[in-house]
Amino acid sequence: MSAKKKSIIFTDDIDEMLLKEVNFYNPFKTPARWTEVAESLTGLLELTSPCTARTVKERTVRIIAKWKSSELASQKASGIQQDYTELQKLMIDVTELEKEAEIEIAEKRKTTNPKMKAKTDAEKLKEGKAVRDKALLCFSKKGKLDGVKDEMNERPEQETENQDSDTGDVEPPKPKKIKKKAKEDPLLSILARKLELDELKEQRKMQELEIRKQESENQKALIGALINQKSN
């Protein structure tokens, strides 16, 4: 009599293991990695009937849909602070991975599709022109204001010179005007800050991936120990 096949039955614990693997391999960005997620989960659970890439993908999609429709997701979007379980935290992380992948795919389509690329280039030119026009307007206004200030500063000096010529007094040396430093471009400051935040986010992501990888290995070892204990 052949041994009964051990197939996967999803529970909260197994969902948590699945999301850890999805978060580690990120198959949203590289769809071929759904196979790696399935193989890894099969090994962790020591299934005799391997789960497929389709199975783990469909389960992940259901979990994400369930999270998006939950009240906690609505509260998070509105900025309300909550205490989340480990499974809920993983749901949030995986949902963010899916969103980032969708944005990246949309950007690639824009660059590969000639019509979309032409539209994108036109939008960039339009945005660049708007920024340039705004900058020129600011410089123009600043120039006019500086001209008025210079004129107002010159008037007292001329009056003082006239008074000195009438009285014969010697005018004391005038202090040199200190030029103000040019203001830092706000656009450059924003870009620099964005690059800094992106770098910090990438470092944090790498640290989290390393932690989850270690947790996954520990969990695998624990399951193996439990199975050995039962067999003994």
Domain shared by 150 and 105, yes or no: no
Q: Based on C-alpha coordinates, what's the Rg of the chain?
A: 33
Residue with tokens 């369930």: 66
Measure the CA–CA gap between 104 and 126, rounded to whole angstroms: 22
Q: What domain range is 77 assigned to?
A: 7-112
Do 152 and 136 belong to one domain?
Answer: yes
pLDDT tens digit sequence for 176-202: 666 555 566 677 777 777 788 888 888
In this structure, the answer to whether residues 147 and 83 fall within a common structural domain is no
Q: Do 74 and 15 share a structural domain?
A: yes
The answer to whether residue 51 sits within a structural domain is yes
Q: Are residues 29 and 84 in the same domain?
A: yes
d(CA 172, CA 90): 75
Query: Average pLDDT of 66-77?
Result: 77
Average pLDDT (78-97) is: 84
Instruction: Verify that 28 and 86 share a domain, yes or no.
Output: yes
Query: Are 26 and 64 members of one domain?
Result: yes
What's the total number of domains in the chain?
2
Helices 12-25 and 86-112 sit at what angle, rounded to 10 degrees?
A: 40
Do residue 16 and residue 58 come from a single domain? yes
Question: Do residues 20 and 95 share a domain?
Answer: yes
Give pTM, 2 decimals.
0.46
Residue 143 lies in a domain: yes
- What confidence tens digit (pLDDT) does each residue in 104-145 have? 888 888 777 666 555 566 676 677 767 767 766 765 655 555
Q: What is the C-alpha end-to-end distance of the chain, expressed in Å?
A: 23
Whole-angstrom distance, CA of residue 157 vs CA of residue 109: 65
Coil, strand or helix: which one is 229? helix
